Chains A and B, each alone.
Chain A
Amino acid sequence: MILMHTPALQVIIPLIAAPLCCLLPKSRLAWLFTTLVSFSTFAISVLLVWQVHAVGVIDYEMGNWPAPLGIKYHIDSLSAFILILISAIASITLLGARSIIEQEIPHSKHALFYTAFLLCLTGLLGIVATNDAFNVFVFLEISSLSTYALIAMGRNRKALMAAYEYLIMGTIGATFILIGIGLLYMQTGTLNMFDLHDRMPIIGGFNSVHAGFAFFTVGIFLKLALFPLHQWLPNAYTFAPSAVSVFLAATSTKVALYLLYRVFYTIFGFEFSFSTLHLGAVLLPLSIVAIILSSLIAIFQSDIKRLLAYSSLAQIGYMTLGVSLQTQSGLIASMINLFNHAFIKGALFMCLACIAYSIKTTRFNHMAGIAKTQPWVAAAFVVGGIALIGLPPTAGFISKWYIVLAVLETSWWLAIVVLLTSLLAVIYVWRVVEQMYLREPLDNIQHGTPVPMMLIICTWIMILLSVYFGIDNRFPLRMATMAAEMLMP
């Protein structure tokens, strides 16, 4: 019976677990409960991937109401791909994060922290699983509101201001998406994504549909943190609690990218988005500016979390560069980039969580010589940095390879830009590696708290996954190819 209801169970298991977690008295029990729930979510997403391999697509009607009347959950290869990514990241993060959460967050708020975490997980999974445009908005707001609350629990008082600015900008973005949904509903009378796609040729000429497209674009770019709508991301990632930074960096922008694929390929259709309304002409310059500018700004940061946040902005630029090429290989490159980057960034932020546990700070100057006291953490950061630059045998090399291959189909000077910006990544990764290995350890590092074994193990699990997907690329490549063929026939 579980097999019949997997799409619904994927979303409702964390949803039911959230109020239960709110009622739990002890912090350790809340952590154990949350970790078990996220592992069961991962198990269901594995089941979904297996079912999608066997059947192709899974349709699930909520409340047994048929599709245009009721809400339908539609799992195809793209959805299953992102679902398994999110649940895997959540599980590994929660497995190792108990000690860093207990250190950074006051004890009375632990149960509520895990409740907010489960609600964020519910929202992210719901955005990916659903096939109803308004349901996407509801789950988007569920995940965003929990994210604002999670970020505000950071140690520094700047976390409050970061959460407030993210709230203002995120709500404006989500409301723009709502306006887009409203304008499309006005013209078609339906909210189902496939129904909207079927009716798009009839209404494609109307100004209101073009306005809806523009509203969708701005809203999704804001959630994606694409230049120039990226101002909320550096502060939010830097001042959030370390476990929250790991989870957000690896999942929230990836789900926004999934929303971009769904809206522009499934709802509006490839020809309408890119040929009639020239989305590529908007995406291409913004992606290139995002890559170059963010990599340059990352070099000069004095807080390593901020450096990694700007590096994330650059990687998002690579993903949208793949989309803006308007070819199937560009789309495949974008999806592989999405998958690999989640593990790489998650692993790097987990290294920083270890460092933050040990010396209570992530500032560049205070990290001198930390490789002598925390050799495993520093080694993990080196491997993650190699993956970020894009050297074999890591997953970053595979991502860059596919991007360069896709870019070479259209223009050779773009490939030069991609390779040169990888050199910029070398600069900021080498800065940190030099500070960690080639300097004398300071006092605070000699007397730093020893990092718990579970946190280091989970960091290495993510690092080894990013190396594994650099060597054996079959699973992401197969899922990405199936997804791209379905989105762009």
Chain B
Amino acid sequence: MMSLITDLYAYWISVLLMMVGLYIVIDHNNLFKKLIGLNIFQTSVFILFISMGKVDQGTAPILKEGFETFSNPLPHVLILTAIVVSIATTAVGLALVVSINKYYKTINESEIQAIEREEA
């Protein structure tokens, strides 16, 4: 039973962060905080990928004399791409929040919905 937790601790941490991120996205009213939650959620996926790429006794995935076992370089490459995607998504999201603030004078989702309901 304990080995289920101690051997797989990387996956436990990743899933914990995933759930924290999703909870922040769903629950918080502030549009900025939702973006932060989305970022935490995506970061947990990166941790999942990279932790599975580590090879036992393996060093960093860069060829050098004197080392024989290297970690798998492919997850590192995939996560580099995914990090760039996450940054682009955050940038677009932040630009949208700044524009929403300009037009609605608030970034609280319930207040925005109240404004829209009053106009309808």
Q: Are chains A and B touching directly in their complex (CB below 8 angstroms)?
A: yes
A152 touches B38 (CB 8 A): no
Cβ of A182: which chain B residues have Cβ within 8 Å of it? 45, 48-49, 52
Assess whether B88 is in contact with A145, with CB atoms less than 8 Å apart: yes
**Given the contacts A172-B41, A182-B45, A182-B49, A158 and B31 also touching, CB distance less than 8 Å:** no
Whether the Cβ atoms of B48 and A164 lie closer than 8 Å is no
Q: Are B49 and A160 within 8 A (Cβ)?
A: no
| Chain A residues within an 8 Å CB radius of B41 | 172, 175
CA distance A9 to B22 in the complex (A): 39
Interface pair A160/B38, CB less than 8 Å apart: no
The 8 A CB mask of B101-120 against A (1 = contact, 0 = none) is 00110000000100010000
- List A contacts of B38 (CB < 8 A): 168, 171-172
**Contact residues in B for A186 (Cβ distance below 8 Å):** 52
Assembled-state Cα–Cα distance A179/B15 (Å):
11
**Measured CA separation A138–B96 after assembly (Å):** 22
Given contacts A145-B88, A172-B41, contact A164 B52 (CB under 8 A): no
Give the one of B38, B78, B81 with max A CB within 10 A: B78
**Alpha-carbon distance A134/B74, docked complex (angstroms):** 11
Within the complex, the shortest CB–CB distance from A71 to chain B, in Å, comes to 12
Residues in B with CB closer than 8 Å to A157 are 100, 103-104
Contacting residues, chain B, for A148 (C-beta < 8 A): 92, 96
Q: Is the CB of A134 within 8 A of B92?
A: no
Contacts A175-B45, A182-B45; is A167 near B93 (CB within 8 Å)?
yes
Question: Is A161 in the interface zone, CB < 8 Å from B?
Answer: yes
List of A residues within 8 angstroms of B34 by Cβ: 168
Mark contacts of A166-197 with chain B using CB atoms, 8 A cut-off: 1 yes-contact digit, 0 otherwise.
01100110010011001001100001000000
Q: Contact check, B89 vs A160: say whether CB atoms are below 8 A apart.
A: no
Say which residue of A152, A161, A179 sits within 8 Å of B48 (CB atoms): A179
* Contact of B92 with A160 in the complex, beta carbons under 8 Å: no
The chain B residue with its CB closest to the CB of A167 is: B93
* Secondary structure dominating the interface of B: helix
Task: Report the Cα distance A160→B107, complex, angstroms.
Answer: 12
B88 CB contacts on chain A under 8 angstroms: 141, 145
**CA A276 to CA B73, docked complex, whole Å:** 33
Q: Does B97 sit within 8 A of A, measured CB to CB?
A: yes
- B16 on interface, CB distance cutoff 8 Å: no
Chain A facing B: main interface SS: helix
Q: Which of B42, B52, B75, B104 contacts A175 (CB 8 A)?
A: B42
Contact across chains for A179 and B89 when beta carbons are under 8 A apart: no
Query: Would A164 and B97 count as touching, CB distance under 8 A?
Result: yes
Report yes or no: A138 in contact with B25, Cβ–Cβ below 8 A: no
B96, A152: Cβ atoms closer than 8 Å: yes
Q: Mark B4-30, 1 if CB is under 8 A from A, else 0.
A: 000000000000000000100100000
Assembled-state Cα–Cα distance A145/B90 (Å): 10
Interface size range of chain A in the complex:
20 to 34
Query: What chain A residues lie within 8 Å of B74 (beta carbons)?
Result: 185, 191
Q: How far is the CA of A79 from the CA of B62 in the complex (A)?
A: 37
**In this assembly, does A149 line the interface, its C-beta being within 8 Å of a C-beta of chain B?**
yes
Q: Which of A141, A152, A168 has the most CB of B within 10 A?
A: A168
What sequence of 0s and 1s flags, for each residue 110-146 of chain A, a beta carbon within 8 Å of any chain B beta carbon?
A: 0000000000000000000000001001100100010
B100 touches A164 (CB 8 A): yes
Contact with B along A429-447 (1 / 0, CB 8 A): 0000000000000000000
In the docked arrangement, what's the CA distance between A152 and B49, Å?
Answer: 32
B99 at the interface (CB under 8 A from A): yes
**Interface flag for A226 (CB, 8 Å):** no
Q: Is B60 an interface residue (CB 8 A)?
A: no
A163 contacts the other chain (CB 8 A):
yes
Q: Which residue of A lies closest to B25 (CB)?
A: A168
Q: For the complex, what is the distance from the CA of A138 to the CA of B78, rounded to whole Å? A: 10
Q: How far is the CB of A108 from chain B (nearest CB, A)?
A: 15
Quick check: B81 and A160 within 8 Å, CB to CB? no
Q: List B50-98 residues whose CB lies under 8 Å from chain A.
A: 52, 74-75, 78, 81-82, 85, 88-89, 92-93, 96-97
Asked whether, in the complex, the Cβ of B82 is within 8 Å of the Cβ of A178, the reply is yes
Contacting residues, chain A, for B52 (C-beta < 8 A): 182, 185-186
Known: A160-B96, A179-B48. A145 touches B89 (CB 8 A): yes
Contacts of A160 in B (CB 8 A): 96, 99-100, 103
**B92:A145 contact, CB within 8 angstroms:** yes
Q: How far is the CB of B53 from chain A (nearest CB, A)?
A: 9
Instruction: Among A134, A141, A158, A191, point to the contact of B89 (Cβ < 8 A).
Output: A141
Cβ of B30 to closest chain A Cβ, rounded Å = 12
| A466–B37 alpha-carbon span in the complex (Å) | 44
Q: How far is the CA of A152 from the CA of B75 in the complex (A)?
A: 33
B20: shortest Cβ distance to chain A, in Å?
14
Interface 0/1 of A20-41, CB less than 8 Å to B: 0000000000000000000000
Known interface pairs A172-B38, A182-B52; 15 further A-B residue pairs with C-beta atoms within 8 A, sorted by A's residue number:
A137-B82, A138-B85, A152-B96, A157-B100, A157-B103, A160-B96, A160-B103, A161-B112, A164-B93, A167-B96, A179-B45, A179-B48, A182-B48, A185-B52, A185-B75
A-B contact pairs, 15 of them (CB 8 A): A157-B103, A157-B104, A160-B96, A160-B99, A161-B100, A161-B116, A163-B96, A164-B97, A171-B42, A175-B41, A179-B48, A182-B52, A185-B74, A186-B52, A191-B74
A-contacting residues of B (Cβ < 8 Å)? 22, 25, 31, 34, 38, 41-42, 45, 48-49, 52, 74-75, 78, 81-82, 85, 88-89, 92-93, 96-97, 99-100, 103-104, 112, 116
Which 9 residue pairs are nearest across A and B when measured between Cβ atoms? A157-B103, A141-B85, A164-B96, A160-B100, A186-B52, A182-B49, A160-B99, A171-B89, A167-B93
